[in-house]
């Protein structure tokens, strides 16, 4: 996947992790009732932000990291029938262990 797309600057590509499809009470939720996922796996990372004086700031996340991100962050797109999100590193709230 990472070979097919290379984000620019401080952007990264995330594959959203699926949420549970059954409520706590055991009710199966239809697609329309599901919340947008806010957790995903990083599949591609840009080189980092370029400062005004031409220095590159290294990215804090790397490919394979599980991250939590803002609810409406990034731009969704499809690549080879896979739903992906491209967003800035600043939209990532935390890394998961």
Cα–Cα nearest to 89, from 55, 56, 70: 70
The model's pTM is 0.77
Domains of the chain: 11-18+35-96 (2.30.33.40)
Task: Write out pLDDT tens, residues 27-72.
Answer: 766 655 555 668 999 999 999 999 999 999 999 999 999 999 988 8
Mean pLDDT of 7-14: 95
Q: E-assigned strands of 11-89?
A: 11-16, 39-45, 49-50, 56-57, 66-69, 75-79, 82-88
């Amino acid at each position: 996947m990472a070979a097919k797309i290379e984000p620019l600057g401080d952007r990264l590509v995330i594959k959203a992790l699926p949420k549970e499809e059954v409520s706590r009470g055991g009710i199966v939720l239809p697609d329309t009732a599901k919340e947008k996922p806010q957790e995903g796996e990083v599949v591609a990372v840009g080189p980092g932000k370029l400062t005004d004086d031409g220095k590159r700031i290294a990215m804090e996340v790397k490919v394979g990291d599980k991250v939590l991100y803002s609810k409406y962050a990034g731009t969704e797109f499809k690549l080879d029938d896979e739903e992906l999100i491209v967003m800035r590193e600043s939209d990532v709230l935390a890394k998961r262990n």
